[in-house]
Chain A
Amino acid sequence: MTFWERNQLKLAPFLFLAPAILIFLIYVIYPIIDSIWVSFHEWNGMDKNGTRGNGNPNWSWVGLKNYVVLFTDDEEFYVSLFNNIRWLLFSLIAIPIGLLLALFVNQSILGMRYIKSLFYFPFVINAVVIGVIFTWFYNPKYGALTYVLSLFGLDPIPVLADENLATYGIIIASFFPGIAYTMILYITGLTGVNREMVEAGRIDGASGFTMLWHVILPQLKPATLIAVVVTIVGSLRSFDLIAVMTAGGPWGSTEVLAYKMYQESLFNYRMGYGAAIATILFLIMDIYIAWFLYRLFKNEKSEK
């Protein structure tokens, strides 16, 4: 027996995994480490051995300076961080709405199949398109919102030009695909709901909200977990809608960490500073992902 024949079964999984692991290392792990390394430097994104107009090198070690400036001397960083938190909290509203829609479309009525696909449609549209549509919707001069307000005799609200409202305006736009996605998760979850338990509940006199809360929802827990995870990760990564709808404005009030990172590194030529922001964002996500994995493993253990 050759070496291969003897160990075929043990080696095969690794061989199958190898391409994926290799790509993961090159495109995910290496950039993470490299970003952290860059964040300890001042770099304008040009040749690392070159010099700037004022004679300073393009690339130089500055230790923790980028982080110190970020935390002590950059008001915009706190604006972005606060906006990220707002995104995180308010985008969760999409989940109960998605659940309600799922319950609504989960009835066997003629043509419901088509209504389902209509509700799912926003998730398929590109975020840029959604951003443009909502920008028109909010347009204080010619937009649909202004028109609706005028029917009630109200003045137009310049949602995207108001520093206090703009972020909420964009979050509402993000509901559009977000609700569709959570709805699909719940529809799949609902098909797995145990009918016998529903019957048993009915015999015990549960109906309406009691039924939903005590019988259906506990069975939808896996779907809820995924919905929460996807929504939160999505809210931390929110970028495309902001870039399209406000470009971070008015005067930087809708910036989030991901957008600020893009702005600093690509437009302001501060790669090191941008990398420091990316690292902070990475750490925030880490805390959250650690909590998620902990929950996941705990669940699996208890099931065993």
Chain B
Amino acid sequence: MKKLITLIVLFTSTVVSAGTLVVNSNQSGESSKAAFDAYVDAFRAAHPEVTVVVNEFEHEAYKTAIRNFLTAEAPDVAIWFAGNRMKFFVDQNLFQDVSDVWADAGLNDSMASTKGSLTVDGKQYGVPWGYYQWGVYYRKDLFDNLGLNVPKNWEEFKWVCAMLKKNDITPITIGTKFLWTAGGWFDYLNLRINGYQFHMDLTAGKVSYEDPRLDATFAAWRELIDPGYFLEDHASFSWQDAQAPQINGEAAMYLIGNFYVPTLESAGVVDKMDFFQFPTIVEGVGIAEDAPTDTMHIPSGAKNVEDAKKFLAFMSNKEAATNWATMGGMLSPNKYADKPTNRFSVMGAEMLAAADDIAQFWDRDANPDMAGAAMEGFQEFMVKPDREAKIRARLEKERARIHGDL
């Protein structure tokens, strides 16, 4: 399969001539593909001298294919993710410095909020095109039936869970088969308890997994695990499988990203749904949110750098930026873009604008190797909380192997 992809890339890049821009895209979903096509069409209209060739990859396959094509036969533009996922390729000198695009196209102003996640050593290595919020999507009808209000802090949250459980409703649905959903829970608990800086130090491998400050994070998690507030047998469900209980009205809350909304719409339950920000746990800790940012980069091996920079700079076009993000159910990082109209996006935009800090997500902030091992540990903890000490010792061993001794 990888060979085939390389061959396709090889083929498409040998037939192209000057003035041709090759873009590798992972926007394979129906709505995200339409959104990306709209951006490409707008770019073509604005720059008729450039011929744009798009190589589309399936979203998951892209994650392994990118390492091949960046080294073997680089496109001119590649879509990717901000944070550690980008830094890995920057460290390999596989992405180009595009600070000049930021300066010339006024992105330093219009994209200021996401600049940090694209900066390594003071230089920018990509341009963001969309991001989305995480938070709790809940069944408002179930809450109303039981007279429950949106919980603002940890005590209220646990009380809501207890009330739901008492009425035979699964308080929290989750499917941890592919692990990352458990990473979302760890992110939020740790961000709310130990704050953004500690969390970033942990993802950077600068803090031990046996650090006593993490005790509180795992203890809070246990307060939800021990009474059975999470969906039973969640390790056998994917994140899509876990939607069913909520759509059927058997589960009330789901901590997930805004990409959940299209499913709610097609399942016809969107009117019964609402959204709230993950509650405060420790007073005085700055509010940080997970908001993964999707990006565009110019590989070091790009042949048509000039047009690639035009393609990235086109994100300063507020109309094109708006369309790409909103058609795909995302928020535009361009602050001059039109305000979103979908109510979940509106709530997300307000929440993120008010946040003190923005994290990318566990498996985008942490080193890929460490992220995988840690999420496996989180999944195990959610089922066998008594193994906490053993799990944390194992993770610390992994951390030491990957990041070195403290």
B177 touches A140 (CB 8 A): no
CA distance A58 to B383 in the complex (A): 37
Is residue B58 contacting chain A, with contact meaning CB distance below 8 A?
Answer: no
Q: Would you list which residues of chain B between 182 and 205 have a CB under 8 Å from chain A? A: none
B245 touches A252 (CB 8 A): no
Contacts of B237 in A (CB 8 A): 139, 141
A46 touches B71 (CB 8 A): yes
Out of B92, B236, B241, B380, name the residue touching A46 (CB < 8 Å). Answer: B92
A249 touches B379 (CB 8 A): yes
B interface residues, tally (CB under 8 Å): 33
B376 touches A249 (CB 8 A): yes
Q: A141-B245, A142-B244 are in contact. Are A250 and B92 (CB under 8 A)?
A: no
Q: A141-B245, A161-B235, A250-B379 are in contact. Are A268 and B372 (CB under 8 A)?
A: yes
Q: Would you list which residues of chain B between 344 and 387 have a CB under 8 Å from chain A? A: 368-369, 372, 376-377, 379-380, 383
Give a binary string over A13-52; 1 marks a CB under 8 Å from any B CB, 0 the rest: 0000000000000000000000000000000011100101
B377 touches A251 (CB 8 A): yes
Q: A53-B88, A140-B233 are in contact. Are A251 and B369 (CB under 8 A)?
A: no
CA distance A142 to B90 in the complex (A): 45
Is residue A297 contacting chain B, with contact meaning CB distance below 8 A?
Answer: no
Contacts of A267 in B (CB 8 A): 368-369, 372
B233 touches A141 (CB 8 A): yes
Q: A45-B67, A50-B92, A158-B233 are in contact. Are A268 and B368 (CB under 8 A)?
A: yes
Out of B92, B94, B379, B397, name the residue touching A251 (CB < 8 Å). Answer: B379
In the complex, which residue of chain A has the Cβ closest to the Cβ of B64?
A266
B91 touches A250 (CB 8 A): no
B369 touches A247 (CB 8 A): no
Contacts of A251 in B (CB 8 A): 235, 376-377, 379-380, 383
A161 touches B234 (CB 8 A): yes
Contacts of B88 in A (CB 8 A): 53
A140 touches B236 (CB 8 A): yes
* Interface size range of chain A in the complex: 20 to 34
Is residue A246 contacting chain B, with contact meaning CB distance below 8 A?
Answer: yes
Q: Would you list which residues of chain A between 124 and 151 have a CB under 8 Å from chain B? A: 135, 138-142
Is residue B263 contacting chain A, with contact meaning CB distance below 8 A?
Answer: no
* Chain B interface, DSSP helix/strand/loop, else mixed: helix
Nearest Cβ distance between residue B265 and chain A, in whole angstroms? 22
A47 touches B71 (CB 8 A): yes
Give a binary string over B92-103; 1 marks a CB under 8 Å from any A CB, 0 the rest: 111000000000
Is residue B179 contacting chain A, with contact meaning CB distance below 8 A?
Answer: yes
CA distance A147 to B394 in the complex (A): 38
Which of A75, A247, A251 has the most B CB atoms < 10 Å from its CB? A251
Q: A53-B88, A250-B380 are in contact. Are A269 and B369 (CB under 8 A)?
A: yes
Nearest Cβ distance between residue A192 and chain B, in whole angstroms? 40
B236 touches A138 (CB 8 A): yes
Is residue A183 contacting chain B, with contact meaning CB distance below 8 A?
Answer: no
Contacts of A247 in B (CB 8 A): 177-179
Q: A140-B236, A268-B369 are in contact. Are A161 and B241 (CB under 8 A)?
A: no
Nearest Cβ distance between residue A174 and chain B, in whole angstroms? 18
Nearest Cβ distance between residue A146 and chain B, in whole angstroms? 10
Nearest Cβ distance between residue B132 and chain A, in whole angstroms? 24
Nearest Cβ distance between residue B387 and chain A, in whole angstroms? 9
Nearest Cβ distance between residue B381 and chain A, in whole angstroms? 9
Q: A53-B87, A267-B368 are in contact. Are A140 and B179 (CB under 8 A)?
A: no
Is residue B155 contacting chain A, with contact meaning CB distance below 8 A?
Answer: no
Contacts of B233 in A (CB 8 A): 140-141, 156, 158, 161
Q: A139-B236, A140-B236 are in contact. Are A246 and B372 (CB under 8 A)?
A: no
Which of B94, B236, B377 has the most A CB atoms < 10 Å from its CB? B236
Nearest Cβ distance between residue A172 and chain B, in whole angstroms? 15
Is residue A160 contacting chain B, with contact meaning CB distance below 8 A?
Answer: yes
CA distance A167 to B374 in the complex (A): 22
CA distance A288 to B233 in the complex (A): 38
Contacts of A269 in B (CB 8 A): 368-369
What are the 7 closest A-B residue pairs judged by CB atoms, nearest first?
A53-B91, A158-B233, A161-B235, A251-B380, A161-B236, A268-B369, A250-B235
Residues of B within 8 A of A (CB): 64, 67, 71, 87-88, 90-94, 176-179, 232-237, 241, 244-245, 368-369, 372, 376-377, 379-380, 383, 394, 397
What are 5 sample pairs from A and B whose C-beta atoms fall under 8 A apart? A46-B94, A50-B93, A53-B87, A135-B236, A158-B236
